[in-house]
Amino acid sequence: MPRIAGVDVPGEKRIDVALQYIHGIGKTTADRLVQAIGVDAAKRAKTLSEAELSAIAAYIDKNVVAEGQLRRQTVQNITRLRKIGCYRGLRHARGLPVRGQRTKTNARTRKGKRKTVAGKKSVKEMR
């Protein structure tokens, strides 16, 4: 299992797929990276030489915002939104959908498990 940018990438996978295990690197970025360095995309990650691994790591450090730096940047952006009190910041703070989705139904991923609220008493039960 080669270690690139602080992440153990799976050695059995092709290098263009294995690079996608790094936070901040998707398919397009991985393809560009492999082409820029000149590594065969069909090569398995475990068969890469030390020189190729160091070239990939250097390219990521220089040209791509990835892993810890990207996670830190995301947290800082959310903190800034919460601090200025904008709508998106309030939605983040309350744990509700941020991008305009409906909340009357669905939104279970953001809202969490259902909390049952007691229903209204009927007229017959009140007597």
CATH number of the structural domain spanning residue 75: 4.10.910.10
Other Cβ atoms closer than 10 A to 22: 22
pLDDT confidence band for 42 (50 / 70 / 90): very high
CATH number at residue 32: 1.10.8.50
Q: Give the chain's domain count.
A: 2
Same domain, 75 and 54: no
28 close to 10: Cβ distance less than 8 angstroms: no
Task: For residues 19 and 34, give the distance between their C-alpha atoms in angstroms, rounded to a whole number.
Answer: 9
Instruction: Flag whether 104 is in a domain.
Output: yes
End-to-end CA, the chain: 72
Same domain, 55 and 80: no
Residues 85-114, mean pLDDT to the nearest whole number: 94
- Pseudo-torsion of CA 31, 68, 108, 113, nearest 10°? 140
Instruction: Flag whether 47 is in a domain.
Output: yes
Q: pLDDT by residue (tens digit) across 47-95?
A: 999 999 999 999 999 999 999 999 999 999 999 999 999 999 999 999 9
Same domain, 29 and 74: no
Instruction: Flag whether 121 is in a domain.
Output: no
- Pseudo-torsion of CA 62, 65, 71, 73, nearest 10°? 100
Residue 43's domain spans which residues? Answer: 3-63
